[in-house]
Amino acid sequence: MTDRNPAAASSKRHCDLSLDDPTPSAKLQRCSEPSEPTPAGKPNGGAATGEESEMMAGARNPRAQRYLVAVEYIGTRFSGSQKQPNQRTVTGVLEEAFHRFIGQPVSIIFSSRTDAGVHALSNVCHVDVERISKRKPGEVLTPHEPGVVKRAVNHFLLKSEGDIMVTDVCCVAPDFHARYKSLERTYHYRLLAGPESTSVFEKNSVWHISEDLDIQSMKKACSILVGHHDFSSFRAAGCQANSPVRTLDELSVTEETRHGIFWERI
């Protein structure tokens, strides 16, 4: 779920790398109930769904190294994370930075899509990078070290608006998929309650509500939503997810009285 209010949410996506099995693909599958299973192929030549098309778009170039890339961004000047024609998007800016780094186009696949104006503390994606020799065109070289990728891409991102940065890079297995191997999402919603105007430093990171909030009632409502439920009523008209059923592990409200800001965490 992404928040419709541009200034209200920030998201963080987790991939578990703590298992004993040393292979990244095994470590990233520690989820007994995946949020969105890998789509199966269509029988009898049927048309692919939006999710299946994305899966095919993430098919690996056998000569390339697949990287898992974590990014943080301020969503104010982005028209969302998903690539759109004639719009500044997180995917578009990141793909351009990689293109300038390696000299060829790439396809970025994010684990979680965010709407226009939504910030991300950590959103992850995967990308395939084929390192080609500039002296001998066509010769494939040893893949770049993750640290080199991070520094080089951030160099070009700084030439943009300076509102997006790569925070971590690691090599992953060929079958890793940022969306379908993900384990969980965490969202923070910041609500500023009361008649006072929003600070200029907070206006793009909080949702201002002029009336007071009933915190106890909000907490009771949160307890109802925790668990395994059908969230069809929260789906957008064009939602392409296989199922509306999701498991909400935690939903809490915390009051910060000094600044009058309430935190809601999912």
What is the pLDDT, as a whole number, of residue 163? Answer: 95
The alpha carbons of the chain give a radius of gyration, in whole angstroms, of: 20
What is the pLDDT, as a whole number, of residue 54? Answer: 54
Spacing of C-alpha 135 from chain mean position: 36
What is the pLDDT, as a whole number, of residue 100? Answer: 95
What is the pLDDT, as a whole number, of residue 47? Answer: 43
What is the pLDDT, as a whole number, of residue 81? Answer: 94
Burial 29-40 (b: 16+ CB within 10 A, else e): beeeeebeeebe
Query: Residue 205 carries which DSSP code?
Result: T
What is the pLDDT, as a whole number, of residue 11? Answer: 54
Q: Which one of the listed residues 3, 16, 20, 115 is annotated catalytic?
A: 115
Tokens 């778009």, located at residue = 57
Alpha carbon distance 142, 39 (integer Å): 32
What is the pLDDT, as a whole number, of residue 265? Answer: 56
Q: Are the beta carbons of 65 and 171 closer than 8 angstroms?
A: yes
pTM for the model: 0.73
Residue 204 CA: distances (Å) to CA of 9, 165, 187, 266: 10, 18, 16, 20
What is the pLDDT, as a whole number, of residue 262? Answer: 54
Domains of the chain: 9-29+50-171 (3.30.70.580), 184-265 (3.30.70.660)
Number of H helices, E strands in the chain: 5, 11
Helices (H), 81-214: 90-102, 146-157
Q: Give me the half-sphere count of Cα atoms (radius 13 Å) on the Cβ side of residue 164.
A: 29
Give every residue of the chain whose pLDDT is below 50, as ranges. 1-8, 16-50, 52-53, 56, 260
What is the pLDDT, as a whole number, of residue 193? Answer: 86
What is the pLDDT, as a whole number, of residue 10? Answer: 53
Cross-strand bridge partners of residue 230: 245
Q: Which residues are CB-contacts of 159 (< 8 A; sequence separation ≥ 6)?
A: none
What is the pLDDT, as a whole number, of residue 240? Answer: 73
What is the pLDDT, as a whole number, of residue 37? Answer: 45
Q: Is 115 tagged catalytic?
A: yes
Beta strand extents in 20-131 (DSSP E only) = 65-73, 109-110, 119-129
Q: Are the beta carbons of 102 and 60 closer than 8 angstroms?
A: no
Q: Is the dihedral of CA 41, 45, 50, 55 positive or negative?
A: positive
